[in-house]
Structure formats: structure tokens, C-alpha cells
Amino acid sequence: MPAPAPAGWKQARLPAGGGVLWYPPSLSAIKGDHTSVAVATRDKSGRILVYLNSTPQQGGENLGNWPQFRIAHDRGESTQVHRDAAGVGLSFLDAVGSCVIDHYTTRSHGNHHREIACFVQGNATASVVVGAALQSEWTRAAPLLERAISAYRAH
């Protein structure tokens, strides 16, 4: 259910406009590519535990093909990708979206992650918002990630 961000949450705007990612103060900005915004929490070794990211539409992804598109994208970067759930035509604040929940193992470090990834179509632009966590952190992180995604704004 879409809802404004809670009081005290911070915001990160896509550099070229088109989306606003709201996140709690427990997450901190991390370096990403020049078109996206990303925040995370890390453990003492630097491993990302919880992650939120937003990026502009970059290719052929759209509301109708998003679940298949995202799973294909994940398979290009990960192993053992499994789709858990998907929805098309979901309500966002002033926008409509399609989301997929999946889990996978990263190729580089063998970490098992679970994510909610949504394609969000606003009035003028489309963007992607992703909330992910290590599988071991998922139960604790899922409510926070779901809340952040419900507050996401595409313009």
C-alpha cells in the first residue's frame, strides 16, 4: 500500500530527476553509478546487509514485462535465481508499478540475497527501485524495505 515516508526519513533524488528514494537514518549513502542512488547498511567486514537503490529506466523494461525482465537481469549477474512472487499494475504514490520478489546467490562472494525489485511508471518518467538484504537479514529487513518501496515516488 503506497504511503508517504515516515517523519525523520531521508531522501535521495535520482541525479537526472524522475524518482525520489526515501530511507531511514539507519541506512547510509553508498557509491553507485552516476545515474543512480543507493543506500545500505554494512557489517564490520564491509559486506552489505541491507540495500536500497533507485535507477532510471535503462532499457526495454516496462510494466508488462518487468517480472521476466528482472529475473533475466538477475540471472546475468547471479546464480540460483528463484522468483518468489510478482505483481503487475500495482499502486505507487502518483504512479503505477510492477514488482518481483526473488532470491539469488551472488557470483562474486556467494552471498544469498532476497530482493523486492519494482519498475515504477510516473507521469513523465520510469525508474526502478530495489530493496535487498542478505537472506539471513531478511526477516528483520523486509518491513523496512517494504516501507521504503511503498514511499518511493516516480515523477
Q: Is residue 12 part of a domain?
A: no
Q: Is residue 75 part of a domain?
A: yes
Q: Is residue 76 part of a domain?
A: yes
Assign 71 to helix, strand or coil: helix
Q: Note the pTM of the prediction, 2 decimals.
A: 0.95
- Name the residue with higher pLDDT: 155 or 41: 41
**Number of domains observed in the structure of the chain:** 1
Domain that holds residue 58: 26-154
Q: What is the pLDDT of residues 3-23, one digit of tens each?
A: 999 999 999 999 998 899 999
Q: Is the pLDDT of residue 32 over 90?
A: no
Q: What is the pLDDT of residues 38-95, one digit of tens each?
A: 999 999 999 999 999 999 998 899 999 999 999 999 998 888 999 999 999 999 998 9
* Terminal Cα distance for the chain, rounded: 18
- Name the residue with higher pLDDT: 27 or 78: 27
What is the DSSP secondary-structure string of 91-140? EEBTEEEEEEEEEEEETTT--EEEEEEEEEE-SS-EEEEEEEEEGGGHHH
Per-residue model confidence (pLDDT) at position 39:
98
CATH code of the domain covering residue 145:
3.40.1000.10
